Amino acid sequence: MDRNYVASSNIASIGYDEQSETLEVEFLNSSVYQYYNVPSHLYSQLMEQSSKGRFLHTYIKNAYPYSRV
């Protein structure tokens, strides 16, 4: 999955696959997580936020299944 680099204090890059509704997040510590069944509007909102880490923690992290890749 292609990811876009972002300005964040704890996230390096973010990618999204619209067909599978999979959000992929690479953290600055090089760990990569995939979050499943994330609607595209939530991805769009995430990318618009000044604090992407806070948005991820509040709206995605504990609300959607995920795995470390």
| 18-59 confidence digits (pLDDT tens) | 999 999 999 999 999 999 999 999 999 999 999 999 999 999
Could you give phi then psi for residue 3, rounded to 5 degrees? -120, 150
Q: Give the pLDDT confidence score for residue 69 in this predicted structure.
A: 96
Q: Give the pLDDT confidence score for residue 1 in this predicted structure.
A: 87
Separation of CA 65 from chain center: 12
Separation of CA 9 from chain center: 14
The pTM of this model reads 0.95
